[in-house]
Structure 1
Amino acid sequence: MKSKLYLIPSLLGNDDAARSLPAYNLAIIKSIRIFVVENEKSARKFIKTVLPEKKQQELEIHILDKNTSGEELHELSKLFKRGESIGIISEAGLPAVADPGGKLVRLAHQNQVQVIPLVGPSSILLALMASGMNGQQFMFHGYLPIDKFERKKVIQKLEADSRKNNCTQIFMETPYRNNQMLEDLIKFCQPSTSVCVAANITMDDEFILTQSIKEWAQKKTDFHKKPAIFLLES
């Protein structure tokens, strides 16, 4: 048998699996024994949540995170020679999208291993869908700089580039710094620039709102410790 590499979406939070994942995904998870994951504890919790009958002690778990070395990645690629299907699970959402799993996907292609992406939630695309912003031209930038001076420069550049190229700019922040991010956007952007904050996507207290910087400055908000995506259009 030839190995296959399944890209298995995980939940974005404590949301209902039935809302976010098709039944086909559960059948794939049930059939796989070997998983490459970003975090073992959260990956096991995810598998137990969506498939409680699957025996945890039978799982073979390997770690692939931002600290995985080239040598360790080479060792992971040896899994492809075992003829078993492998599943990648990221910390949240889609594997290989803003996620280190993409490194193993590249190696799979180099080893002629079939890569199979499964349907599931992406906070980035769900936020873009719901923002009302340009879905034809958009860029994702991951995390912006923490340094205040550098962050100001990047925010103002994103705003200028959005205006010049008619492009939606998408980025994220560590949840405990969300409020600071919004404060910086209000401080450094033009009043007419539109910003969308999409927090706790797919969860019961989901919040998605697009309005101008001027309107955000007049609104009381608190996104502390809530996973969020920020979108900007100027």
Structure 2
Amino acid sequence: MSSMNALYIVATPIGNLDDITQRALATLQKADIIAAEDTRHSAKLTQHFGITTPLIAYHDHSNESQTLRLLDRLSKGESIALISDAGTPLISDPGYRLVKLAREKGIAVVPIPGACALVAALSAAGLPSDRFSFEGFLPAKNVGRNTRLEALATDTRTLVFYESPHRIVESLQAMAQVFGCDRQVVLAREITKAYETFLSATFSELQGMMAADANQLRGEMVVMVQGYVAPEQNDEALEPEVQHTMQVLMAELPVKQAAALASKLTGIKKNKLYKWALGKKAE
């Protein structure tokens, strides 16, 4: 084949097939094989563009022998195009192990850039994009999800999450509890598709929108949360004794629990104590 021996990381459309690049089409056509997350899904793409390169299944749960077979083919001079179901491979998609081992063996790894839901959503969200943190998918279980969110509660960067329709309601509820109902959030769904939607609101408002319109629960989603902004100190000041109580409790408990218990002990509103605690953590 005419292309250089390498592992090509090829971005594919996330919805609109017109977003495929000419370079991606040429790479997929010239490669010896295409390693795909789901060959049945990717076959629709290759058939649409008349690409005849053989497809084989590869994902991060593939057994070690499959990874070694691909590395062996690369070592013998073949070229492999790695694709995911949609978007850029390795961005919450498979491929890390193969790329890492290929580089360790001195095999060229070449990115073929293109569509990426993370970048597309953030570019149109209207939230600060000079500094952001991509967090991928949150843990499915409540404890793991809350632990991850609490670690991000005072992060000043824009936070970006991927989420699926069957977990979006629970995830938004958890975010509202940890980040506060008044934090700004943008929900992007069905990006590049016919029903592409961007909803910009507070968590409280967004939850109402989702409850009122079942259509907003459909499609793959990107959730973007405005970073933490420290509250004004003048009306958030606490008496020294209350501050001491909070500091003692925060040393032993998560912020949310510390604020709830301190509220019972002092009679001060839980939200005020929670905001004060977040401000201290951010210092």
TM range, smaller chain: 0.7 to 0.9
**Preserved CA contact (<8 Å) 1:186 1:216:** no
**Preserved CA contact (<8 Å) 2:187 2:199:** yes
Change (3 A) 1:62 1:217: closer
Report the Cα offset of residue 125 of structure 1. Answer: 1.3
More strand by percentage: 1
1:195 partnered with 2:185: yes
Report the Cα offset of residue 78 of structure 1. Answer: 0.6
**How large is the RMSD of aligned CA atoms in angstroms?**
2.1
Amino acid across the alignment from 1:226 = G
Amino acid across the alignment from 1:201 = I
SS of the aligned residue for 1:175 comes to coil
- 1:30-69 matches, within 5 Å, as 30-49=29-48, 51-52=49-50, 54-55=51-52, 59-69=53-63
Change (3 A) 1:105 1:66: closer
Report the Cα offset of residue 75 of structure 1. Answer: 2.3
Q: Which runs of 5+ in 2 are unaligned?
A: 229-283
Amino acid across the alignment from 1:228 = M
SS of the aligned residue for 2:127 comes to coil
- 1:128-143 matches, within 5 Å, as 128-143=122-137
1:122 aligned to 97, 116, 138, which one?
Answer: 116
Provide the rounded CA distance (Å) in 2 between the counterparts of 1:76 and 1:32: 13
Amino acid across the alignment from 1:25 = A
1:7 partnered with 2:9: yes
Provide the rounded CA distance (Å) in 2 between the counterparts of 1:182 and 1:205: 21
Q: Deviations over 1:123-177 (max 9, x none)?
A: 011111122223222222222122224323333332x232xxx211111223322
SS of the aligned residue for 1:88 comes to strand
Provide the rounded CA distance (Å) in 2 between the counterparts of 1:172 and 1:96: 13
1:209 partnered with 2:209: no
Report the Cα offset of residue 121 of structure 1. Answer: 0.8
Amino acid across the alignment from 2:45 = F
Normalising by structure 1, report the TM-score.
0.84
Change (3 A) 1:76 1:214: same
Matched residue, 2:255: none
**Preserved CA contact (<8 Å) 1:21 1:119:** no
**Preserved CA contact (<8 Å) 2:12 2:86:** yes
1:228 partnered with 2:226: no
Q: Which runs of 5+ in 1 are unaligned?
A: none
- Structure 1 residues 106-115 or 215-224, which shifts more? 215-224
**Preserved CA contact (<8 Å) 1:3 1:80:** yes
Identity over aligned pairs, percent: 24
**Preserved CA contact (<8 Å) 2:135 2:159:** yes
**Preserved CA contact (<8 Å) 2:60 2:95:** no
Matched residue, 1:109: 103
- Structure 1 residues 107-116 or 82-91, which shifts more? 107-116
- 1:79-98 matches, within 5 Å, as 79-98=73-92
Structure with higher Rg: it is 2
Report the Cα offset of residue 112 of structure 1. Answer: 2.2
Report the Cα offset of residue 221 of structure 1. Answer: 4.1
Q: Deviations over 1:161-213 (max 9, x none)?
A: 32xxx211111223322233234333443122111111011112111122222
Provide the rounded CA distance (Å) in 2 between the counterparts of 1:116 and 1:61: 19
How many residue pairs get aligned? The number is: 222
Provide the rounded CA distance (Å) in 2 between the counterparts of 1:127 and 1:221: 21
- 1:144-223 matches, within 5 Å, as 144-158=138-152, 160-162=153-155, 166-219=156-209, 220-222=212-214, 223=216
**Preserved CA contact (<8 Å) 2:199 2:206:** no
Matched residue, 2:240: none
Provide the rounded CA distance (Å) in 1 between the counterparts of 2:218 and 2:199: 17
